[in-house]
Amino acid sequence: MESLPVEVIGNILSRLGAARDVVIASATCRKWREACRNHLDTLSFDSDDWPVYHDLTTVRLEILITQTIFQTRGLQCLSISMDEVDEFSAAPVIAWLMYTRETLRQLLYNVRTTPNVNILEKCGRQRLEVLDLSNNSITGVDPSYQRFPCLKSLSLSHISISALDLSLLLTACPKIEFLSLVNPEIAMSDSQATMELSSPTLKKIYFEAISLDKFILEADGLESLILKDCTLEYFDIIGKGTLKYLEIDDVSVLHLEIESTENLEVIDLSSFTIVWPKFYQMISRSSKLRRLRLWGVVFDDEDEIVDLETIAVCFPQLSHLSLSYDLKDGLINYGLQGPTKLENVAVLELGWTVISDHFSLWVAGLLERCPNLKKLVIHGVVSEAKTHEECHMLASFTSSIVQLMRKYMRVEVQFEYE
């Protein structure tokens, strides 16, 4: 250990992350102290790391963080995540940001500051690659002098920002690849809430708890889009057909438009409220689709039901199909009509939320359409208060499945009940 160069010690200690471990390590001997002083690139103050953090006053924490940061030189990754702290005062926060300005590549900060600190203004911009901010406000974005030439990943959670500033911020990040917005407080100037975001370099987007009237997203390089718990009236995604992965969970959109869907490989929808015929039309061009999941969706009438013929014809490369929706009388047969087989489907996942007699018929119908199936997974919801009727249905379902699977001996069957 004696002969390891101080830079290597610094490399090792940079992997500790938690500030307390780093400080303790720096108290072992001179070489390690020097390593922490001059060769430490990562420091993290996370309330999960050390239980004693909870017992310290905010002022004490501010002092502690300041003392520790100021004993380093050349810090590249700084993470301050203190869930139990209401707010830090502006002065120490500004000090931390200014001290690390020249070298910082990654910043994570989740504590409110009072008075509000314009973090984008104070933090290092030249080298910043990852920025993860929560519980703060962003105002007055000016791309003419505020540029983030290296920023690849931007995550904003519970941030207060205007639609205009958000849009300007993206233009100030010429290399941005990942954007995450969680529960933003978006201030609008118009009476109609419109947001327009544009970035040719964005590859992956994650939106959660967003509520907007009109949202126009222009992302020519977009490969992956995840929406969770959002309410949108009008969502228009303009692109050059690079989108491969689409995941939507607990979202309602009145009007969704995705410019080019030809290269979609995965469509994962659950608890999704949309006008289905239009949606089907839009994704019917996704001939490269490998995985399709329609889970916990509601179809109001037969126009909306998922019909296997269309799926088989439009998605010849489909290998993984997951379906779970309320099976209404008469609609099952409608969905099962047609001759075309799902030749490439190897995994089939079928689920019920309320068990019914129709379910086993439906399973049987689907098995017939998948000649090369390897695995079947049944997802069932079993209510706490099991009525006699429900038990009876579960029993008859079990019997019918056993009989059914005798015809398909090659298929592996799994059950997941919750």
Partner 1 sequence: MASAKVFVLRTCDGETFEIDESVAYVSETIKNMIEDGFGHDLIPLPNVSSKILLKVIEYCRKHVSNFESSKKTSNGDEKDKDNDSWKKEKEAVPEVEKDAEEKARVEELKEWETTFIDIDQQVLFDLLQAANYLNIKGLLVMAAEKAASMIRGKTPEQIRETFNIKNDFTPEEYEDIRKKDAMNDFTPEEYEEIRKKIADNHFTPEEYEQIRKENAWAIE
In the complex, the smallest distance separating the C-beta of residue 185 from partner 1, rounded to whole angstroms, is: 24
Q: What is the identity of the amino acid at 308?
A: L
Which H or E element spans position 368?
helix 358-369
Residue by residue, DSSP assigns 196-245 as EEE-SS--EEEEES-EEEEEEEE-TT--EEEEES-EEEEEEEE-SS---E
Nearer to partner 1, 178 or 299 (CB): 178
Q: Which helix (H) or strand (E) holds 254?
A: strand 245-258
Residue ranges binding partner 1 (CB under 8 A): 1-5, 8, 11-13, 15-16, 18-21, 23-30, 32-33, 50, 52, 55, 64, 67-68, 71, 77, 106, 129-130, 152-153, 177-178, 203-204, 223-224, 244-245, 265-266, 290
Nearer to partner 1, 106 or 167 (CB): 106
Least Cβ distance, residue 75 to partner 1 (angstroms): 14
Rounded-to-integer distance, Cα 330 and Cα 243, Å: 36
Rounded to the nearest 10 degrees, the angle between the axes of helix 19-26 and helix 30-38 is 140
The CB-of-54 to partner 1 minimum distance in angstroms stands at 12
d(CA 144, CA 122): 16
Q: Which is nearer to partner 1, 19 or 195 (CB)?
A: 19
Is the separation of the CB atoms in 219 and 243 below 8 Å? no
Contact 143, 166 (CB under 8 A): no
Q: Rank residues 152 and 341 by Cβ distance to partner 1 and give the closer one.
A: 152
Q: How far is the CB of 232 from partner 1 (least distance, A)?
A: 23
**If phi over 0 gives left and psi between -120 and 50 gives alpha, with beta otherwise, what is residue 405?**
alpha
Nearest distance from C-beta of residue 267 to partner 1, angstroms = 11
Residue 137, helix vs strand vs coil:
strand
β-strands 178-182, 245-258 pairing: unpaired
CB of 360 to partner 1, least distance (A): 29
Q: CB of 376: closest distance to partner 1 in angstroms?
A: 17
Q: Given CA atoms 67, 72, 73, 78 in this order, what sign does their dihedral have?
A: negative
263 close to 288: Cβ distance less than 8 angstroms: yes
Closer CB to partner 1, 288 or 328, in the complex: 288
User: What residues are paired with 396 via a beta bridge?
Assistant: none
Strand runs (DSSP E) across 326-374, as ranges? Answer: 347-352
Q: Which is nearer to partner 1, 247 or 259 (CB)?
A: 247
Please state the closest distance from residue 137 (CB atom) to partner 1, in A: 25
- For residue 79, the minimal CB distance to partner 1 (Å) is 9
Q: Which is nearer to partner 1, 275 or 377 (CB)?
A: 377
* Structure tokens belonging to residue 182: 């969680």
Toward partner 1, which CB reaches closer, 160 or 201? 201
Which one, 204 or 214, has the nearer CB to partner 1? Answer: 204
